[in-house]
Amino acid sequence: NAAAGAELFIVEGDSAGGSAKQARDRASQAVLPLRGKILNVASAGNDKLAGNQQISDLIQALGCGTRSKYRDQDLRYDRVIIMTDADVDGAHIASLLITFFYQEMPSLVRGGHLYLAVPPLYSIRQGGKVAYARDDAHKDELLHTEFTGRGKVEIGRFKGLGEMMAAQLKETTMDPRKRTLLRVDVIEAEAATKDAVDALMGTKPEARFRFIQERAEFAETEVLDI
């Protein structure tokens, strides 16, 4: 059974994995680095799935089996935390991982075990004061509320988790006392959620295009690169 509070951080890349391993609490936090993009399980056959090393490593690390063989009591971690860069590539990797869990371990998601870490995109400094912003809107908010005094304000943008020092990664993203986590939930009807996953992650590009046309407010020819 999972130790109380045990956490597995799934991290993209060896450099980010190195920082995360230094930043973790060894008593309760484990790190699994992924190399490159994970397989899109929604468009892959069972043979590809079975032969994929990353998928195999992930299933082995969790210890709970998949689909009909899934056993919640065998899950080794209370929280499985996807920790990717705060950019488009990071969001893509996170979406691929969420798709994997939704398809292969839906009970893990329904049980409230799957989370997204929220690493900062910016560091803001003024004199001895330091704060971290998760996005542009948060940065602007901090500049108007926390950094209104005198002195030059320095804004740095993180290119990725691997660029952050272990102490920064711990303080902003991994320390339970200071971090923000987003829990992944299935909040709509199961059928609607399954249809959305199939449309967005499946093998038919026309289904993706139709989904975007119907749902996205920004889906106008002049703003889409098509």
> So which residues are the catalytic ones?
12, 85, 87, 89
The two structure tokens encoding residue 52? 């994929």
Local structure of 94: helix, strand or coil? helix
CA distance 126 to 153: 5
Ordered strands of the 122-126 beta sheet: 129-133, 122-126, 154-157
Q: Work out the angle between the directed axes of helices 88-104 and 190-201 (0-180°, nearest 10).
A: 130
DSSP letter string, 117-170: E---SEEEEETTEEEEESSHHHHHHHHHHT--SSS--EEEE-S-GGGS-HHHHI
CA distance 143 to 1: 45
Write out the E strands in the chain: 7-12, 29-34, 79-83, 114-117, 122-126, 129-133, 154-157, 181-183
